[in-house]
Amino acid sequence: MVNKLEVAWTLGTVALISAVAVYSTVLLYHIDQLPAHPDEYVEVIGHQWFWEFCYPVNGTCFNVTYDAATGAASGGSLYAAPGSVVQINVTATDVVHSFNIPALGVRLDAIPGRVNSIAFTVPNVAPGTQYLIQCTEFCGTFHGTMRAYLAVT
């Protein structure tokens, strides 16, 4: 014989789990949406073992190399204004890499033949602030030198 209390806690649990499932699903799709008009739009290409950044707005592309001995990156930086919304499209030319800005919680796989996109907001910090960019997918001998910086301009 089914107790009314058993029916109540079963239906209550089903309702609670259903509500969490619907909320989570909506949120997952929402956070994947890209802005209609980002302030900055950058193509990011992973190579063994450096990052290439392209700004389609002005047709500029450059490679960033990193000197592990000095911790300095040369060739340029990913640049963006404080508070701006940046959309990046990430791909790779050879093996799988992963584009990561740990301080901003930005991480996206760079996969040959596929373009992954994400948008993020640059914090309102003083111009000159730099955020480390690093590859977080082991991609070969010099994986550890696949570093660059996001420079707030």
Q: Which of residues 79-98 bind Cu ion (CB under 5 A)?
A: 97
Residue number with CB closer to Cu ion (86 or 146): 146
Interface stretch with Cu ion, choices 11-19, 65-73, 122-130, 137-145 (CB under 5 A) = 137-145
Strands 78-80 and 147-152: parallel
Size of the site for Cu ion (CB under 5 A): 5
Residue number with CB closer to Cu ion (97 or 119): 97
d(CA 29, CA 117): 14
The vertex-84 CA angle with 137 and 151, nearest 5°, equals 55
For residue 139, state whether it binds Cu ion (rule: CB under 5 A). Answer: yes
Single residue of 135, 148, 150, 152 touching Cu ion by CB under 5 A: 135
d(CA 37, CA 61): 21
Structure tokens at 59: 């047709």
Interface stretch with Cu ion, choices 9-17, 88-96, 110-118, 145-153 (CB under 5 A) = 145-153
Laid out side by side, the sheet with 85-92 consists of: 72-74, 60-67, 50-55, 40-47, 85-92, 116-121
For residue 143, state whether it binds Cu ion (rule: CB under 5 A). Answer: yes
Q: Which of residues 97-116 bind Cu ion (CB under 5 A)?
A: 97
Interface positions with Cu ion (CB under 5 A): 97, 135, 139, 143, 146
